[in-house]
Amino acid sequence: MFVAGARTAGGPHYWGVRSACWPGRTRCGWPGAIEQAVEAELKSFIPGTRGIRIDALAEALAGFGLALLFGYAFTWAGVCLTMVLRSVEVAQQLGFIIFLPLTFISNAFVPTQGMPAWLRAVADRNPFSAVAAACRQLFGNPNLSALVQAWPMQHRELAVLLWSAVLLVVFAPLAVHLYRRKSLT
């Protein structure tokens, strides 16, 4: 009722209410993501697995933080995609077509040194490669990406922060703009 009254009144508070929808929605997934990250890390303490060293706890927390930050920033690209398309099903299918290849053309699954030169150049600059390399490094795992001379692989953590900032600066305001424009029609 408040929002309906604000819309007819055209008050300035109306835009704040509508603009808060997507930031709130994108943040509501954080508790589940944090829970899954903690659960995965606790499972690594099962006998026979390595787990994290106590002296490297701060680095591991930084790795979790970088992964969560990038995931949050990347969520805004999905929000924009959803606002442009007509249905959730189409957005999900197109999201797989666009975003899934980004994960496979990265160092998340295989080292980029074995890729053809043209694919390696793309993979070494892929934001998912930076996230995977930064998390490997911060979790204390072997990181073959440290041998790659591309700037994002030499400055992994900074690359993740920059990619996250770019994604947030571009897609968060765009998503809010698209939401406002779509809700007016």
The answer to the question of residue 14 being in a domain is no
**pLDDT, tens digit, 9 for 90 and up, residues 83-136:** 888 787 888 888 888 888 888 899 888 888 889 999 999 999 999 999 999 988
pLDDT of residue 160: 95
Which of 7-16, 49-58, 175-184 is predicted with the least confidence, judged by mean pLDDT? 7-16
The answer to the question of residue 11 being in a domain is no
Please give the single-letter amino acid code of residue 38.
V
The answer to the question of residue 77 being in a domain is yes
Q: Is 180 left (phi over 0), alpha (psi -120 to 50) or beta?
A: alpha
Which of 48-57, 120-129, 159-168 is predicted with the least confidence, judged by mean pLDDT? 48-57
* 139 token code pair: 């979790």
The answer to the question of residue 24 being in a domain is no
The answer to the question of residue 4 being in a domain is no
pLDDT of residue 169: 96
- Of 173, 17, 175, 183, nearest in space to 84 by CA: 175
Number of domains in the chain: 1
0.75 exceeded by pTM: no
Report whether 51 contacts 119 (CB < 8 A).
no
- Of 116, 119, 124, nearest in space to 152 by CA: 124
* Residue 15 pLDDT grade (very low, low, confident, very high; cuts 50, 70, 90): very low
The answer to the question of residue 70 being in a domain is yes
| DSSP tag of 166 | H
Domain of residue 141 covers 31-184
Instruction: Answer whether residue 42 shows pLDDT above 50.
Output: yes
Q: What are phi and psi of 14, to 5 degrees?
A: -60, -45
Instruction: Answer whether residue 152 shows pLDDT above 50.
Output: yes
The answer to the question of residue 17 being in a domain is no
pLDDT of residue 9: 42
pLDDT of residue 8: 40
The answer to the question of residue 20 being in a domain is no
